[in-house]
Amino acid sequence: MKVLVVVPTLNERRNIELLVAGVLALGTSFTLLIVDDASADGTAQAVAGLVPAYPGRLHLLRRRGRSGLGAAYRDGFRWGLERGYDFVCEMDADLSHDPADLPRFIGTLVGGRADVLIGSRYVRGGTTPGWSASRRALSRVAGLATRGALGVRVTDPTSGFRGYTRAALQAIDVQTTLAEGFAFQVEVLCRCLSLGLRVVEMPISFRPRRSGRSKMTWRSAAEGLAVLWRLRSAGVASAGRSLPHHNPA
């Protein structure tokens, strides 16, 4: 079983070493691909320096400049599909997501109980320790707007902590998605649901970023609204629904 974890980075120098160590401590089934958009803070150089310590298990994809989370994921997913990975996961570099959750995700995908696994902050058992009331409110509003506009029954449709089977990524033809920024997560989810893929949520604890600055901008928030509008007009998700979340613990 081969699992690829794709992590996009933009100026995550102060987080990246812990993230690499955390993911690669999970065992030899796990390979990590960092997709860096020419970070100015030396993120790519730090990753390149770690590559020899993890032969064949740590890879770096360098892109020319900042061109958005969606584009970074499309490149990372293509890289993984071309190399035959059975499962592809995505997570943030800033240690908001805990690598220790990944084996739970993969266990559910391997067991054939889901095609897509979403780590949810809002399903029962999920938490956001350390978040201010305003940050929590912003995330809630984004989630509610998405669910209201598209009719998707997923508690955390903007979550960026996910696992996909190879077949799911191929079925949704991820390379043809259009969203550049954070709206990528919603666009991909809509495709999964409209194709009838089994989307299962699992509770996660989402911590505030450990270091560095957020890349969420007004521009990406505006793109998010535009993408919601486009998806709603196309009616892409209305047929979809997710299964109740499954917690094997």
Ligand X SMILES: Nc1nc2c(ncn2[C@@H]2O[C@H](COP(=O)(O)OP(=O)(O)OP(=O)(O)O)[C@@H](O)[C@H]2O)c(=O)[nH]1
Residue numbers at the binding site for ligand X (CB under 6 A): 8-10, 12, 35-37, 66, 68-69, 72, 92-94, 96, 160, 209, 214-216
Q: Per-residue x/- marks for Mg ion, 54-93, CB under 5 A?
A: --------------------------------------x-
Task: Give the residue with the Cβ less far from ligand X, 81 or 138.
Answer: 138
Cβ partners under 8 Å of residue 197, min gap 6:
115, 116, 168, 171, 172
Q: Does 94 bind Mg ion (CB under 5 A)?
A: yes
CA distance 6 to 89: 6
CA distance 76 to 89: 10
Task: Give the residue with the Cβ less far from ligand X, 60 or 109.
Answer: 60
Give yes or no for a contact between 125 and 104, defined as CB atoms under 8 angstroms apart.
no
- Using CB distances below 5 to 8 A depending on partner kind, what does residue 90 bind out of Mg ion, ligand X, none? none
CA distance 16 to 13: 5
Beta strands in the chain (DSSP E): 3-9, 30-36, 58-62, 87-90, 116-120, 162-165, 199-203
Q: Does 101 bind Mg ion (CB under 5 A)?
A: no
Task: Give the residue with the Cβ less far from ligand X, 81 or 216.
Answer: 216
Q: Does 209 bind Mg ion (CB under 5 A)?
A: yes
Cβ partners under 8 Å of residue 81, min gap 6:
88, 166, 169, 170
- Using CB distances below 5 to 8 A depending on partner kind, what does residue 199 bind out of ligand X, Mg ion, none? none
Smallest gap from Cβ 229 to ligand X, in A, equals 21
Smallest gap from Cβ 96 to Mg ion, in A, equals 5
Smallest gap from Cβ 139 to ligand X, in A, equals 8
Give the Cα-Cα-Cα angle 112, 113, 118 (nearest 5 degrees). Answer: 115
- The residues binding Mg ion (CB under 5 A) are 92, 94, 96, 209
